[in-house]
Amino acid sequence: MAELSTLARPYARAAFEYAREKNALAEWSQQIATCAAVIAHEDVRAALDDPALTGEEQAGVLNSICGDATGPQVQNFVSVLATNKRLPLLPEIRDQFELFKANQEKSVDVEVVSAFDLDDALTQKIAGVLRRKLDRDVKVSTSTDGSLLGGVLIRAGDMVIDGSVRGRLNKLAEAMNS
């Protein structure tokens, strides 16, 4: 069976291209995220998995739950997904849509994990360095993980920079064992 990302990609690309043409990337992003959140709910998923429902009926159920949070174009997109039995792909479609949007806007979400809370000045300094290195607008979110011992772990898309003490100790242990 094909991977979810492979199945979702053409739908995400089509939604992105349409939204970009209409200068509505932010609206589509929000509306697709709403649909993905609704379909991820266990009760909704169970209702939509009813084999007696046609694709049109599944789309009607999802669109009625989303209500005014989605516009007619996104509701039509949901109908196309339902007709093709692709509604379960909505969370993956949302993720890929957000990647396309981030590439268009030349932005990247960066997660900085440290052993201790970082002050705003240090967070801004890390963001500035990453902005120059990645040549993108950087949106930083921080969290703490005491198991790092010290240093930071930075995740930006598929790039990971492990500057943590734990990571360095693991590399040293690997080098000694090989």
Using one digit for the tens of pLDDT, what is the confidence trace for 30-76? Answer: 999 999 999 999 888 888 888 888 889 999 999 999 989 999 999 99
Q: Give mean pLDDT, residues 96-121.
A: 89
Indicate the number of domains in the chain.
Answer: 2
What are the structure tokens assigned to 147, written together?
A: 């198991």
Handedness of CA 15, 16, 21, 26 (dihedral sign): positive
pLDDT above 80 for 1: no
Ramachandran assignment for 110, one of left (phi > 0), alpha (psi -120 to 50 degrees), beta (any other):
beta
Domain boundary among 103, 121, 149: 103
Q: Which stretches within 67-137 are classed as H helix? A: 72-83, 90-105, 120-134
Q: Quick one: pLDDT at residue 106?
A: 85
pLDDT band at 158 (very low <50, low <70, confident <90, very high): confident
* Together in a domain, 94 and 30: yes
What are the structure tokens assigned to 118, written together?
A: 């970082």
* Together in a domain, 88 and 31: yes
Structural domain for 126, as ranges: 107-177
The listed range with the strongest mean pLDDT (15-19, 52-56, 99-103, 143-147) is 15-19
* Together in a domain, 60 and 117: no
* Together in a domain, 68 and 121: no
Domain boundary among 52, 79, 103: 103
Determine phi and psi for 158, rounding to 5 degrees: -95, 5
Domain boundary among 73, 103, 133: 103
Handedness of CA 63, 68, 69, 75 (dihedral sign): positive
Q: Give mean pLDDT, residues 97-123.
A: 89
Higher pLDDT pick, 77 / 106:
77
* Together in a domain, 69 and 147: no
CATH number reported for the structural domain that contains residue 84 in this entry: 1.10.520.20
* Together in a domain, 124 and 99: no
b/e burial code for range 85-104 (CB count within 10 A of at least 16 → b): ebbbbbbbbbbbbbebbbee
* Together in a domain, 87 and 163: no
